[in-house]
Amino acid sequence: MAPVLPQMSNLARMFQQVNLGAMVRTLGNIQPTDLALIVKSITDRARPKKIPAINGDFYDISDVLTPEERVIQQAVRSYMEQRVRPVIGKYWERGEFPHELVPGFARMIGETFGSRPYAIDALGPTLTGIAAMEMARVDASMYTFFGVHWGLCMGSLYLFGSEEQKQRWMPPLERFEKIGSWALTEPDVGSANRCRAEDHGTARGGRLGHQRARRSGAATRPLPISISFCAHVSDHQVNAFIIERDTPGYSVEKLEGKTALRAVQNANIRLENVHVSEANRLPGVTSFRDVARQLAVARSVVAWAMAGTAMGAYERALDYANKRVQFGRRSLPSSSFKTGWCRCSVMSPRCRACCCGSASYTRAMARSATSAPRWPRPSAASICARR
Amino acid sequence: MTIQAVERGLDFYQLDALLTPEERDVRERVRSFCDEEVLPVINRYWERAEFPFELVPKLAALNLTGGVIKGYGCPGLSAVAVGIATAELSRGDGSLETFLGVTSGLAMGSIYHCGSEEQKQHWLPAMARMEKIGAFGLTEPFVGSDASHIRTTATRVGDRYVLNGAKRWIGNASFADVVVIWAQDSETGKVGGFLVEKGTPGFAATVIEGKIAKRSVLNADITLSNCEIAEANRLPNARSFRDTAVVLKNTRYGVAWEAVGHAMAAFEIAREYTLKREQFGKPIASYQLVQQKLVQMLGDVTAMQFMCWRLCRLLDEDANQVTEGMASLAKQHCAARARQVVALGRELLGGNGILLENHLARHFADMEAVYTYEGTNEINTLVVGREITGIAAFV
Ligand SMILES: Cc1cc2nc3c(=O)[nH]c(=O)nc-3n(C[C@H](O)[C@H](O)[C@H](O)COP(=O)(O)OP(=O)(O)OC[C@H]3O[C@@H](n4cnc5c(N)ncnc54)[C@H](O)[C@@H]3O)c2cc1C
């Protein structure tokens, strides 16, 4: 048998890195079983395995979509990857909103969501959820901006507005020429949704006083409008009003120093004797029950978004673990370390459960056409929020 | 100790009774420094990711720097006192604590454990007064957890050493007067320690931007290109990575206490908030689910305090009886528990929990760094695992 000749250059490199005396001593003491393991691990390394493609949708939930719907999903994904991912980190750190993105984002939404008769209704709940998932997969602030403007503000108009109100406000909102926000929470009223802002009915319309609410989008250019929910003084019913930013008595102050969703602009609002014409009251809202109905719809989309955030985190973590080498594990990704591997494998089924939960919820919603199903509605959102 | 501290849950089982007067004194000093000097200004620094240099003289005046080191102008505190001070400081602000931990524990600790008599005389007194600030450069861009295989090299040329390589994450490095650089000695292949002074040609540090934890401590990327230092700047008693590990073993308990401090702050803030905040017509503290969270937080805080106290007493009696595993267990366990405690606290504050002005958000974010540095959760787990099973499972 011909002698096996090691490559001299490799040997020379090895001698530079190794204390030869120590190595020979160690080799002298080595157990045969250990030697076999070492040889195996060296030969394993020499044959790098191909790293599988990263896919946060492991069970192919997108399969519920038709080919056309998949095109929509892809459009949202590539917009988020190409336009948002490269720039959003800086905005997040500075706590600023990426106004530069709005025109392109609006175009992307216009092209993917269509209009039938109002764009908000065009995709149906499942596809809207998947679009939200794709947005949050790259950036949750950008999703929140969209969710507040589209789902909450336009959603209120859609559910509770009169035909004239819809015709007046929906088109500029759909084109993002006006930006919407939605104000329910107050400084002293968060979880217990009972508004303190008062609406004194007068012949000319409403007069609102003393409300400071925390909501997103209020401090965002261009030309925001706001839908505010207020308690009616006489019988404590809840009403909703469309308020334009330049209305006298209405003032907005940005909330500083957030440590989450930093690119979203949340604000405190003060309402001091704000006069609103009756035409700006949403006729469909008479009690908190109506708000709850809207929240049920919105929460299902938030559940999708959380699935997206988890998916994004899983994909980034797996990608990093595949590339990062520690303890000399080169071709074997460091995700092969037991603990790292089990983190990744724990994350994957959770992403899965999130998508499934959200999917079945929104499908049930789609079936029942207009209203959310009766079964405990926060469940999809709470499954996803659990770590 | 005050009744107030018991009420606030900062000392639920009266750990106070187990402390010496000196240790109690240290705690009170640091606590009032944090309440009066740190809390009013720190959020602005944190948000802008700037280091509060204005606080350094006041921190120096607390006379903590140098910790357990005796002589050389250092306070010679007990490990318990250092631990308690660490917890109190991170209860105020984690970035400031990290700043102190790096210069006092890691940099001074390296010089103390591995330096020559002249090196100690030269550096330790000035560092104890914080006239000179130190940094500790072990981690590299490609070597984090696998710290014994660093790639930076030190090559001897006559009576000088030439350093080449890169370091990453090095706290204080952008302004430190002296950076302890750990590098592989080209001659022996062993890890050694080298003191690189501010302004040495070939040394460059750039601050890492965009952190979401410990934002007001400055961490830097370092490059060393033919950075020449005198032979006299080599730490003579750093002969292999084993010696580096001794320095780390002696700071690891500090990181465990740091986690305790973050958890204490979270509990204190959350308890106060839930008593004041009313929803559905009652303070939220009156709801069972809220009380359960508070109790879980308090249980963890109390257990961690005693775990860390015991570890430090063992160190004070005889440092040799404390194994690497014992040090790692406290770091691993406390960081993991405290990370949950701050998360529960953040949860209890609702939306206010993500606003800096309520302070909890900062502790919540900072705990992420504590969880990772000085050995990640996994690495410390494997250190303990190796000790209790005899089997090293790192690869
Ligand atoms: C704020 C901050 C300050 C710091 N200050 C300093 C400083 O002053 N000086 C200094 O020298 N360093 C400093 N560090 C660096 C710190 O010590 C490292 O971040 C830490 O050791 C982890 O290394 P890494 O970040 O390279 O992660 P990696 O080692 O790349 O680890 C990434 C992930 O892989 C896992 N992993 C790696 N190996 C294994 C294994 N065998 N089994 C299972 N899981 C594994 C880890 O647990 C982790 O989850 C600082 C870090 C931070 C965040």
User: Domain end: A134, A150, A174, which one?
Assistant: A174
The size of the A-B interface in CB pairs under 8 A is 69
In this structure, is residue A271 part of a structural domain?
A: yes
Same domain? For A76 and A159 the reply is yes
In this structure, is residue A42 part of a structural domain?
A: no
Q: Residues A153-168, buried b or exposed e (16+ Cβ, 10 A)?
A: bbbbbbbbbeeebbeb
Same domain? For A121 and A151 the reply is yes
Determine the pLDDT at residue A212. 42
Out of A74-88, A312-326, B130-144, B214-228, pick the least confident.
A312-326
Mean pLDDT over A123-131 rounds to 90
Same domain? For A225 and A261 the reply is yes
Determine the pLDDT at residue A356. 54
**pTM (two decimals):** 0.82
Contacts of A63 (CB under 8 A, 6+ apart): none
From B134's Cα to the closest Cα of chain A, the distance in A is 27
pLDDT along chain B (395 residues), means of 10: 63 92 96 96 97 98 97 97 97 98 98 98 98 98 94 96 98 98 96 97 98 97 98 97 93 96 97 96 96 96 95 92 93 98 98 96 98 96 92 89
Task: Catalogue all structural domains in chain B, each as residue range(s) with its CATH number.
Answer: 3-128 (1.10.540.10), 134-233 (2.40.110.10), 241-389 (1.20.140.10)
Range of the domain at A167: 61-174
**pLDDT mean across residues, chain A:** 77
Could you tell me which of B73, B99, B90, B80 has the C-alpha nearest to residue B19?
B80
Q: Which residue of A lies nearest to B346 if distances are taken between CA atoms? A: A259
From B256's Cα to the closest Cα of chain A, the distance in A is 21
Whether A333 shows a pLDDT value over 70: the answer reads no
Asked if B87 and B264 touch (Cβ cutoff 8 Å), the reply is yes
Same domain? For A68 and A169 the reply is yes
Same domain? For A185 and A262 the reply is yes
Instruction: Please give the full DSSP string across A152-193, using - where no structure is assigned.
Output: IIIHHHHHH--HHHHHHHHHHHHTTSSEEEEE--BTTBSSS-
User: Domain end: A174, A197, A215, which one?
Assistant: A174
Task: State how far the Cα of B64 lies from the Cα of B86, in Å rounded to an integer.
Answer: 10
Chain A residues 2-21 with a CB less than 8 Å from chain B: 17-19
For residue A205, what is the domain's CATH number?
Answer: 2.40.110.10
Q: What does the block give as tokens for A93? A: 């750190």
In this structure, is residue A88 part of a structural domain?
A: yes
Same domain? For A202 and A249 the reply is yes
Determine the pLDDT at residue A288. 86
Q: Which residue of A lies nearest to B381 if distances are taken between CA atoms? A: A339
Q: What is the ipTM of this complex?
A: 0.71
Determine the pLDDT at residue A238. 85
Question: Which ligand 1 atom sits nearest the alpha carbon of residue B137?
Answer: 11
Q: Does A326 touch chain B (CB under 8 A)?
A: yes
Same domain? For A268 and A294 the reply is no
Q: What does the block give as tokens for B296? A: 């879980």
Q: How far is the CA of B98 from the centre of ligand 1 (A)?
A: 15
pLDDT tens sequence across A208-222 = 544 444 455 555 444
Task: State how far the Cα of A319 lies from the Cα of A312, in Å rounded to an integer.
Answer: 11
Q: At A3, is the pLDDT very low, low, confident or very high (cuts 50, 70, 90)?
A: low
- Asked if A188 and B146 come within 8 Å (Cβ–Cβ), the reply is no
Asked if B79 and B70 touch (Cβ cutoff 8 Å), the reply is no
Q: Which residue of A lies nearest to B351 if distances are taken between CA atoms? A: A190
Same domain? For A336 and A379 the reply is yes
Task: State how far the Cα of B334 lies from the Cα of B300, in Å rounded to an integer.
Answer: 9
Task: State how far the Cα of A363 lies from the Cα of B218, in Å rounded to an integer.
Answer: 49
User: Domain end: A254, A271, A286, which one?
Assistant: A286
Determine the pLDDT at residue B380. 96
Could you tell me which of B3, B114, B96 has the C-alpha nearest to residue B43?
B96
Determine the pLDDT at residue B49. 97
Of chain A, the percentage scoring pLDDT greater than 90 comes to 37
Determine the pLDDT at residue A201. 47
Determine the pLDDT at residue A211. 43
Task: State how far the Cα of A307 lies from the Cα of A347, in Å rounded to an integer.
Answer: 11
In this structure, is residue A23 part of a structural domain?
A: no
Q: Does A333 touch chain B (CB under 8 A)?
A: no
Residue B99 Cβ inside 6 Å of ligand 1? The answer reads no
Determine the pLDDT at residue A239. 87
In this structure, is residue A45 part of a structural domain?
A: no
**Contact residues on chain A for B188, CB-CB shorter than 8 A:** 19
In this structure, is residue A55 part of a structural domain?
A: no
Same domain? For A317 and A378 the reply is yes
Determine the pLDDT at residue B386. 92
Q: What does the block give as tokens for A10? A: 């490799």
Mean pLDDT over A235-257 rounds to 87
Q: List helix spans (H) across A161-236.
A: 163-174
From A119's Cα to the closest Cα of chain B, the distance in A is 31
Residue B219 Cβ inside 6 Å of ligand 1? The answer reads yes
Q: At A45, is the pLDDT very low, low, confident or very high (cuts 50, 70, 90)?
A: low
Mean pLDDT over A7-32 rounds to 74
Same domain? For A281 and A184 the reply is yes
Mean pLDDT over A125-147 rounds to 95
| Residues listed for chain A | 387
Residue nearest to atom 30 of ligand 1 (CA): B144
Determine the pLDDT at residue B264. 97
In this structure, is residue A90 part of a structural domain?
A: yes
CA atoms B335, B98, B328, A26: torsion sign = positive
Q: What is the helix (H) or strand (E) element at residue B388, kind and residue range? A: helix B377-389
Q: How far is the CA of B145 from the centre of ligand 1 (A)?
A: 5
Q: Does A191 touch chain B (CB under 8 A)?
A: yes
For residue A102, what is the domain's CATH number?
Answer: 1.10.540.10
Higher pLDDT, A22 or A385: A22
Q: List helix spans (H) across A95-154.
A: 102-113, 124-138, 140-146
How many domains in chain A? Answer: 3
Task: State how far the Cα of A260 lies from the Cα of A258, in Å rounded to an integer.
Answer: 6
Higher pLDDT, B125 or A231: B125
| Phi/psi at B164 (5° precision) | -140, 135
Task: State how far the Cα of B12 lies from the Cα of B26, in Å rounded to an integer.
Answer: 19
Same domain? For A309 and A280 the reply is no
Determine the pLDDT at residue A210. 40
Q: Which residue of B lies nearest to A342 if distances are taken between CA atoms? A: B378
Q: How far is the CA of B79 from the centre of ligand 1 (A)?
A: 25
- Asked if B47 and A95 come within 8 Å (Cβ–Cβ), the reply is yes
In this structure, is residue A206 part of a structural domain?
A: yes
Whether A358 shows a pLDDT value over 70: the answer reads no
Out of B372, B384, B395, mutate this one to test ligand 1's pocket (max ligand atoms within 8 Å of CB): namely B372
Same domain? For A263 and A220 the reply is yes
